[in-house]
Structure 1
Amino acid sequence: MDVKQVKAYFDSEGVVDYYAQAAADLGLWASEEKIFTRVFTPQDSLLELGCGAGRIALGLYELGYRNVLATDYSRSMVTQARELAKRLEYAMHCRVCDATQLEFEDNLFDGAIFGFNGLMQIPQLAQREQALREILRVIRPGAWFVFTSHDRERSAHRDFWEAESLRWQYGTEKAELDDFGDRTEATDHGAHFMHVPTVAEMQALLAKVGFHVEASVMRSELGQESAQVEAFSDDCRFWVVQKPLRAAT
């Protein structure tokens, strides 16, 4: 899948409006608040990747987190996040930033967040791995990184994945897909891309990059979300991982 196509989807007016509505109406999910407030303190300097229209950063600001840098590779999303923050009179910092090429020095942040399955919307395994390496690089030793993904083995679309497995086995998968687990869906705003990993696949990638997995739990196991949140997003898996205090030898 071409990254330019994925970016064009998130730059489209309809998708930006959809994320802006979620930022205004939903705020933090109950599960996000539970995890973020457990692993991060309000004094921590946090890097948020894939901030969209600012839903998570705005929610954290309302909880007293004042040192969050909200970033996204979509300039349209960042512009919308800035406008929402200005309207609310929140002194929230936002900037355009590519997760695979972070323009920050090593060990700078006290933690990082990549919410709403954003990491999984980076096409190509090598690029997702590069994003993880960049995140590892810019957070300090001992810092936490929290992100979400779908879970292919817990998917409600098991029939699809069984059929997809056969398509890959016989070489009849969609030409634009790079890795098994990739999925594209045609929308009015362009192709929506998502990689759906298994737990074992994600664990192996995190170990390869150098993260320690502290916790991996489904959102539905953390408590009940509102009907609005469940309508906005399917169940997903939270990953809480840590940069080791010492580099592996």
Structure 2
Amino acid sequence: MKDLGSQIAYWDGVGATKTFTHPVHLSWLTGVDPDARVLDYGCGYGRVMAELSEHGFRDVSGVDLSPALIQRGRQLWPDLRFAVLESPPDLIGAAESFDVVLLFAVLTCIPDADAQRALVDELNRVLAPGGLLYVSDLVLQDDERNHSRYAAYARQFGTPYGVFATDDGAVCRHHDVEELRALLSDFDLVDERGIEVATMNGHRSRAVQLLARKR
């Protein structure tokens, strides 16, 4: 399972053409200083970064493991700061170097539980005390199509229930909300909301957003 953590060939190929849609709930960031150091981890082509910049945040940067997605972002928004993750989940930044970290539709791309934990631990390291971690991700779906592929993948590969392969080759994971809460157990959960999003392949799916604060 660990080798599924990056899937770089997918994200540098067909994945680099996708449209990402998870919305930013800006009211959750009310009161955050416009000069706060904001990191979008798994930024893709910078859609969320651009929205935050347009709403007055002046110190926004993004990282992603896919050079193709980063190149797309640089072409779309040449004034934004992008960097390629060389050894995910590790970041170059020093401890406590960010005030806000966003993790939008990233955990779904990391099916391995240990890899997810390593990522959250790294984000905890770089967040300043009192800093915010804003997670948006997909939850287990109720329809028969998803139930069937969760079960098939679990039987074939012994993966956690909720892991599946898309028709175009990505291996993804949908989560029980309790799994996400447990992953953030070293943080204080500030708020949570259920939403519906279009997936990168155009399916309407249930998702959850969690706002957590570093202790």
Same fold (TM over 0.5): yes
The structure with more radius of gyration = 1
Identify the structure with the greater helix proportion. Answer: 1
Alignment match of 2:162 (pick from 167, 181, 187):
181
Of 157, 161, 164, the match for 2:143? 157
- Is contact 1:99–1:134 with CA below 8 Å preserved after alignment? no
Structure 2 length as normaliser, TM-score?
A: 0.85
Q: CA offset at residue 9 of structure 1?
A: 0.9
Moved more, 158-167 or 131-140: 158-167
1:99-118, aligned counterparts within 5 Å? 99-115=88-104, 117-118=105-106
Q: How far apart are the structure 2 equivalents of 1:5 and 1:243?
A: 26
Q: Are residues 233 and 144 of structure 1, via their aligned partners in 2, closer, same or farther at CA, if it must alter by over 3 Å?
A: farther
C-alpha contact (below 8 Å) 1:39/1:144 kept by paired residues: no
Q: Given the alignment of the two structures, is residue 68 of structure 1 paired with residue 60 of structure 2, yes or no?
A: yes
SS of aligned partner of 1:183? strand
- What is residue 212 of structure 2 aligned with on the other side? 241
Cα pair 1:47 1:69 within 8 Å, conserved:
yes
CA separation of 1:235 and 1:160: change in aligned 2, threshold 3 A: closer
Q: Percent identity?
A: 20
Number of residues of Structure 1 aligned to a counterpart in Structure 2? 212
Quote how far apart the aligned CAs of 1:36 are. 4.9
8 Å CA contact retained: 2:61, 2:80: yes
Q: Is the 8 A contact 2:117 2:183 kept in 1?
A: yes
Q: How does 1:37-116 map to 2 (within 5 A)?
A: 37-38=29-30, 40-86=32-78, 91-97=79-85, 98-115=87-104
Unpaired runs of at least 5, structure 2:
none
Deviation per CA, 1:160-194: give whole Å up to 9, x if none.
437845884xxxx233x63222111231xxx1122
Q: Which residue of 2 aligns with 1:193?
A: 171
Distance 2:72 2:152 in 1: 42
Question: What is the rounded CA distance, in whole Å, between the counterparts of 1:39 and 1:182 in structure 2?
Answer: 37
Tell me the SS of whatever aligns to 2:40: strand
Identify if the C-alpha distance between structure 1 residues 4 and 135 changes in structure 2 by more than 3 Å, giving closer, same or farther: closer
What is the match of residue 9 of structure 1?
A: 10
Change in CA separation of 1:151 and 1:18 when aligned onto 2, cut-off 3 Å: closer
Whether the 8 Å contact between 2:6 and 2:110 is mirrored in structure 1 is: no
Normalising by structure 1, what TM-score? 0.75
Q: In the alignment, does 2:187 pair up with 1:211?
A: yes
Give the deviation of 1:110 after TM superposition.
Answer: 0.6
**CA distance in 2: counterparts of 1:80 and 1:166, whole angstroms:** 35
* Regions of 4+ moved over 3 Å: 162-168
* RMSD of equivalent CA atoms: 2.8
